[in-house]
Structure 1
């Protein structure tokens, strides 16, 4: 079992709120916001954090998470005091650290903060800050200005923002962060996804939702992919498919590439991720438990994919075809699941699959003792 953000949702720890009311009340001006710098790049939104005066460290703002966490290497570097070990369902355990002083963006100070220690492979930064960063107070993420703004008292001027049919959903267990869910339209159907700045996909759908919308079928073209983040520990492969349109308030997105999870993956019915959320400034109204959005100048992050439609696995010292996407160049060339790729090691084979669109890929396959040469052109087939 892997250690990921979804597993932490089952732990009743008071880690969801990255700061206290007292900390903000002391930092803010009467009626005005506290303003901290944030940074947006292709994969994440980050804020500078100092732990016990050491740093700065780069912490990811992850609105899909309900618990704060720190990279194990950072915890060791700072010398954080371990409060105890916590065991999750299934026997998995992790350390719970006490941070005497957490300073965010140089302006928000929190005493006696708690953070879960995570292996470095599970984090894209030095740590993560959960949804409570936005949902504890009236707050905003302004990605054009690179600012996180918090109102300890009063509320922001939301001129230019559009209120979504939304909610700050209560956690299943106490002391975890409320998370944001908001109504969108996808392919003409109404959905209410989790707004997750930690998700690498524009939109992720649960398997049952994907089937209901006709996106998981024998005829729907797809690229086999491995999911990550919430629900990303499934053994089966997900499917990358092309949708018609996504509408979020006043903002529309044509022909998006979205992910449908396999049957054995768990998670919310739908997740709206950073490739789309980067185009929206978010304003949270805590009293109304609602979110407002404003289209900013950022462009959506367009996902790339290999143009073969193949998923290969290393098995028994060889390379085997594990899945062939419907409608793909490989499928049209007659490649089948179980075919063995000859003459290439796994790393070389993967590099060939990821060549640019338009290049011809020639493979020597073996099927049931018979050698089968195939050749096809890598293409943008979705």
Structure 2
């Protein structure tokens, strides 16, 4: 079954695979639930937080909250990723299941069809929900705010959803209501509760091919190329090794490189940063006959997008981000907030032969200052933009390690 890509670190636009797709098996017969407005309301506008390209919205669960959730076209049932929510809510009739990865220990999760949710003034009763016993996603640590989960299909399937990345706002209305569509109309397909789109892609200076891509607002990267013509994609010569993700069955290795161009609607984007996961590894975990890759939010945010799942089309209108170039992390390391103490900025994985490694930074180092400012004056979003800001720029880190404080200068490097 098609599984879900997720970033190991949203900072570096890497991706993580989780076998939560298996949970769809428990909800395949439950597709009728829809959000609805009470009374005569047919439309609402709601601001969202944009964090590392992701859409974060407030959601009420069983009348309690609000809880921050990622609005994610790449998920089917609602997924609760923060296990503490189980203690704070009165969940009745929860069913415990074991989700088994490939060759690893099983992971406990809860499933329920007796949970109510609301977004703005729209409500849904008995939304299919999976609650992970362990916080596998670590969304809070990588986004820098407390995030409780992901919500997708039931919301998008209930409304025409206008995602205005240019305004950090969504406008949602009943599909049958009178709507002014803007931009280029493009067909999509809804399969396994997720939207797919056809796009022309040219990996290198060769002919373009048509590809089928998952539209994934819950992935911060721009593009992932997984398969062409039934086999592996030839990776461009200029590339860097990367750990593209983690599944329940282990790490997903591959490369980061640039795709020559991709055409979406009537827009052509060039030099697009893309992940190239190892084909032999992911072919055992993902049904690659269904797609060639996935389009993430670093590309999708260049449009304001109107989604109409029920009639299976979208409208794409280029916005103020359309002409911004695609850039990759120029430091080569993961930075996250400690799960227990959210004010501690820690270094996670460091890329081989990256500027961070050459400067002597190490995993588990604590960052207490950047460019002579206390680190708490930055958000993780700020650091993400700083690390992609300019080739050859010096960034000065104040580091705490082994009961000592010292400074490390890292020279940013455009590696691809």
Aligned to 1:261: 277
Aligned to 1:367: none
Aligned to 1:144: 166
**Contact 2:219–2:296 under 8 Å retained in 1:** yes
1:24 to 30, 36, 42: 36
Alpha-carbon offset, residue 342 of structure 1? 12
Aligned to 1:252: 268
**Contact 2:271–2:326 under 8 Å retained in 1:** no
Alpha-carbon offset, residue 180 of structure 1? 0.9
Aligned to 2:22: 10
What's the CA shift string for 1:194-215, capped at 9, x where partnerless? 0001112100011556975532
1:184 aligned counterpart, secondary structure: strand
Aligned to 1:113: 127
Unaligned runs of 5+ in 2: 7-15, 140-146, 203-207, 334-349, 368-386, 395-410
**Contact 1:16–1:130 under 8 Å retained in 2:** no
Q: Give the distance between the partners of 2:256 and 2:116, measured in 1 at CA.
A: 43
What's the CA shift string for 1:179-230, capped at 9, x where partnerless? 11111122232212100011121000115569755326xxx1211122248x
Aligned to 1:290: 313
Count of matched residue pairs: 324
Q: Are residue 305 (structure 1) and residue 329 (structure 2) matched?
A: yes
Q: Give the distance between the partners of 2:175 and 2:233, measured in 1 at CA.
A: 42
Q: Give the distance between the partners of 1:306 and 1:224, measured in 2 at CA.
A: 14
2:26 aligned counterpart, secondary structure: coil
Q: Give the distance between the partners of 2:56 and 2:40, measured in 1 at CA.
A: 21
Aligned to 1:371: none
Query: For the structure 1 residues 213 and 154, does the alpha-carbon distance in structure 2 shift closer, same or farther, using more than 3 Å as the test?
Result: same
Query: For the structure 1 residues 308 and 298, does the alpha-carbon distance in structure 2 shift closer, same or farther, using more than 3 Å as the test?
Result: closer
* Alignment of structure 1 residues 1-382 onto 2, 5 Å: 6-11=18-23, 12-14=25-27, 20-21=33-34, 23-24=35-36, 26=38, 28-29=40-41, 32-70=42-80, 71-81=82-92, 83-90=94-101, 91-97=106-112, 100-105=115-120, 107-118=121-132, 119-124=134-139, 125-145=147-167, 146-151=169-174, 153-158=176-181, 160-169=182-191, 171=192, 178-187=193-202, 188-206=208-226, 213-215=233-235, 220-228=237-245, 234-263=250-279, 264-265=281-282, 266-267=285-286, 268-298=291-321, 302-306=326-330, 346-347=362-363, 357-358=391-392, 379-382=413-416
Q: Give the distance between the partners of 1:228 and 1:155, measured in 2 at CA.
A: 42
Alpha-carbon offset, residue 112 of structure 1? 3.0
Q: Which has the larger radius of gyration?
A: 1
What's the CA shift string for 1:156-196, capped at 9, x where partnerless? 221x3212242122x2xxxxxx2111111222322121000
Query: For the structure 1 residues 322 and 307, does the alpha-carbon distance in structure 2 shift closer, same or farther, using more than 3 Å as the test?
Result: closer
Alpha-carbon offset, residue 64 of structure 1? 1.0
2:221 aligned counterpart, secondary structure: coil
Query: For the structure 1 residues 18 and 42, does the alpha-carbon distance in structure 2 shift closer, same or farther, using more than 3 Å as the test?
Result: farther
Alpha-carbon offset, residue 75 of structure 1? 2.4
**Contact 1:184–1:190 under 8 Å retained in 2:** yes
**Contact 1:276–1:301 under 8 Å retained in 2:** no
What's the CA shift string for 1:64-84, capped at 9, x where partnerless? 112211121122223433511
Q: Give the distance between the partners of 1:131 and 1:123, measured in 2 at CA.
A: 22
Q: TM-score scaled to structure 1, two decimals?
A: 0.70
Alpha-carbon offset, residue 248 of structure 1? 1.1
- The alignment's C-alpha RMSD in Å is 4.1
Return the structure number with greater relative CO, CA threshold 8 A, min gap 6: 2
Unaligned runs of 5+ in 1: 172-177, 310-320, 330-340, 361-376
2:218 aligned counterpart, secondary structure: coil
